[in-house]
Amino acid sequence: MKAPPFAYIRAHDLTEVFDLLEHHGDSAKILAGGQSLMPALNMRLSSPEVLIDISRLQEQAGIHVKDGHVHIGALTTHAAIGESSDIRKHLPLLADAMEHIAHPAIRNSGTFGGSLAMADPAAEWPACCVALDAQIVLASKAGTRRVAAREFFQGLYATAMKPNEILTEVVIPIPGAGTRHAFLELARRRGDYAIVGVAALATFSGGAISDLRLTFLGTGEKPTLATSTSQVFVNKGFSDASLKEAQDLLGTELEPSADLYSSAATKLHLARVLTGRIMKQLAA
């Protein structure tokens, strides 16, 4: 299939981007890496009148650590995140999740911010950002604001970003001592869209879990932080009984939808399977 006709503008700086967004409003789309947007255009799932290309604004790319937080520029590629020593040291959950994203060619072009702005419920980065309690930085002519990742993702391909805003940066607090992480995903083939996945962050104190965040992808219209399910293991530890209780609770927190390959019941079953696997990995 071919994309519908559109105008193309390559922006030279953020000021120009803001002017263009103000002028074109909802009829404009931001083009970063294009690995999600271009297929959507070709399948006629999106039909903007104008594409605003920000891929040359390299000041919006990069990773740096400051005041106990990791700052990731929106135009940082998936591959750059996986190769970053700062990411592997401070946010290894992201490094592990990156290995599940598509294929090398896409990782080299696709961007962190583009994935978050697209808000695909089967994508890895949104779930990781929710688990890591990230802050999404949005910029417009009026200035910048921060939105917690838990509030940023609002539905199927829907976010808290306004038409006159762009995502410029993500700020993630560095987890404290005693924190363990794990990321698991099930797909038909390596690199395919996930059927179900889970990003986990656990804090241990005195040998017991004092805080746990299990965030699921592919099980609803947005990444789902399974709060009640996570709470089962806090201060109780991992056992067959606690796992059974948690797996039962998942049915009340996840709302998977059927797709071409998996029924809703299958996705819920797989989410329960992954819960057992990831808790064993965290407790090991």
Whichever domain contains 15, its CATH number is 3.30.43.10
Residue 1 lies in a domain: no
Q: For residue 37, count other CB atoms closer than 10 A to its CB.
A: 21
Do the beta carbons of residue 69 and residue 146 sit within 8 Å?
no
- In the prediction, which pLDDT does 35 show? 80
Tell whether 66 and 48 lie within a shared domain. Answer: no
> Side chain identity at 186, as an amino acid letter?
L
pLDDT in tens, 221-248: 999 999 999 999 999 878 999 999 999 9
pLDDT in tens, 111-150: 999 999 999 999 999 999 999 999 999 999 999 999 999 9
Residue 252 lies in a domain: yes
Tell whether 199 and 246 lie within a shared domain. Answer: yes
Domain-terminating residue out of 173, 190, 218 = 173
**Residue 185 DSSP class:** E
Tell whether 260 and 191 lie within a shared domain. Answer: yes
- In the prediction, which pLDDT does 164 show? 93
What pLDDT band is residue 37 in, cutting at 50, 70 and 90?
A: confident
Domain-terminating residue out of 173, 199, 233 = 173
Domain count, the chain: 3
- The residues, ordered by sequence, that sit 6+ positions from 268 with a Cβ below 8 Å of its Cβ are 219, 250, 251, 254, 256
Residue 2 lies in a domain: no
- In the prediction, which pLDDT does 38 show? 80
Domain-terminating residue out of 153, 173, 193 = 173
- In the prediction, which pLDDT does 1 show? 65
- In the prediction, which pLDDT does 281 show? 96
Using DSSP, state whether 224 is helix, strand or coil: strand
Mean pLDDT value across the chain: 94
Range of the domain at 275: 179-283
Q: For residue 180, count other CB atoms closer than 10 A to its CB.
A: 18
Tell whether 125 and 69 lie within a shared domain. Answer: yes
- The residues, ordered by sequence, that sit 6+ positions from 150 with a Cβ below 8 Å of its Cβ are 130, 133, 225
Residue 211 lies in a domain: yes
Do the beta carbons of residue 81 and residue 98 sit within 8 Å?
yes
Tell whether 62 and 99 lie within a shared domain. Answer: yes
Whichever domain contains 125, its CATH number is 3.30.465.10
- In the prediction, which pLDDT does 94 show? 98
Tokens of 168: 């410029």
Residue 250 lies in a domain: yes
pTM above 0.75, yes or no: yes
Whichever domain contains 239, its CATH number is 3.30.390.50
Tell whether 150 and 255 lie within a shared domain. Answer: no
pLDDT in tens, 147-193: 999 999 999 999 999 999 999 999 999 999 999 999 999 999 888 88
**Residue 77 DSSP class:** B
